[in-house]
Each structure stands twice: as C-alpha cells, then as structure tokens.
Structure 1
Amino acid sequence: MSDDTDLLLRRILTDVLGLKQNQASDFTEETGLFGHLPELDSMAVAGLLTELEDRLDIVIDDDEIDGEMLETYGGLLAFAKAKREQA
C-alpha cells in the first residue's frame, strides 16, 4: 500500500495543480512545494487537501496542516504515508 502512495501523490499534484505532464515525476524528497511552485498557492492547498482525502482515503484534521508538511515533496509524502498507515 505505502509504495503506491508516491505515485498517487504525484498524480494528485499534477491533477490539482495542472502541472505539466511528467513535471511531478522529477520531484525529489527535497523539491520545494508551497512557496516554490507558483501553482500551489493558498487557494490550491484546500483543493489539494480535499483530493488527498478523497483519493488516499484518509481524513486530515485542521490541526495537522502546517507549513512544514507542505514545504517539500518529501514532507508531504511522509505525511500522506503516515496517514494511510493510520487509516
């Protein structure tokens, strides 16, 4: 299950943010997201979190959302994997 989280997360980012085909494929753990990708602004964050919940079958509480989680691809991936393991 957790291995497909990476692929799913890349698809979600591509779909929600309208990224170029294969742009998310090049993301590494250190790739900056919020504040680095112009497509990921505060409005897009809400849509991204909703899609994460829907497609990964998780629930994200408001108090779990912080800048660190959205700072890098690795941070968001670690968060998504941890949430799926809890589910």
Structure 2
Amino acid sequence: MSNKDVSAIIKQLLIETLSLDMAIEELADDTLLLGNIPEFDSMAIVSIITAIEETFGFMAEDDDLSAEVFESVETLVRFVVERSQ
C-alpha cells in the first residue's frame, strides 16, 4: 500500500472518528492535529489508534505512541506505514 493510499485512509478515519464536518480533500498532509483540532483529545486518540489497528492489522505498542506521532496527518501516516511493513 502506498503512502498516498495510507494517507487517504487515515484522513477518512480522522473525519469519521472525530465527526469532522469536512471533506477528505480539506484535510492536508501537513494539517496539524494535536492542539489544532478541538475534537482531537485523549479519548479521540484512543479511538483513532483502535481504528488504525483494526484497519491496518497491527497492534500499536504504548512505547511507540508519543505526541510526535499525532503532530500532523503526515506524522500519523508515517507511523502507520512504518508499523505496517
């Protein structure tokens, strides 16, 4: 799966999980997440990680999760691509 495909899936998961009223095209790779989107709180992070694990078929280790992973769409995509290989 290409980075572009992973990015599209991640964006859709974010929109659905956070109940964002926006189109996938409005969410750019450099969109900041943590501290920028009010709906992106600790409960949302748990829901997003669960959705990512179910969608991509891997378990995220607590030690792998940091604020940097959730900095932007791009950093979240990079995390998923690295763990999916």
Normalising by structure 1, report the TM-score. 0.87
Normalized per residue, which structure has more helix?
1
Tell me which amino acid in the other structure corresponds to 1:35: G
Paired positions, count: 84
| Runs of 4+ residues over 4 Å off in structure 1 | none
Residue in 1 aligned with 2:20? 19
Q: Which moved more, 1:67-76 or 1:1-10?
A: 1-10
Once the two structures are superposed, residues 41-63 of structure 1 have per-residue CA deviations (whole angstroms, 9 ceiling, x without a partner) of: 01111111000000111210000
Unmatched 5+ residue regions in structure 2?
Answer: none
Residue in 1 aligned with 2:60? 60
2:8 and 2:29 map into 1 onto residues whose CA distance is 13
Unmatched 5+ residue regions in structure 1?
Answer: none
- Written as runs of structure 1 = structure 2, the 5 A alignment for 1:1-87 is 1-2=1-2, 3-22=4-23, 24-85=24-85
Any conservation in 1 of the 2:7–2:29 contact (CA below 8 Å)? no
Once the two structures are superposed, residues 12-42 of structure 1 have per-residue CA deviations (whole angstroms, 9 ceiling, x without a partner) of: 10111001130x4222232110111001101
Tell me which amino acid in the other structure corresponds to 1:76: L
Normalising by structure 2, report the TM-score. 0.89
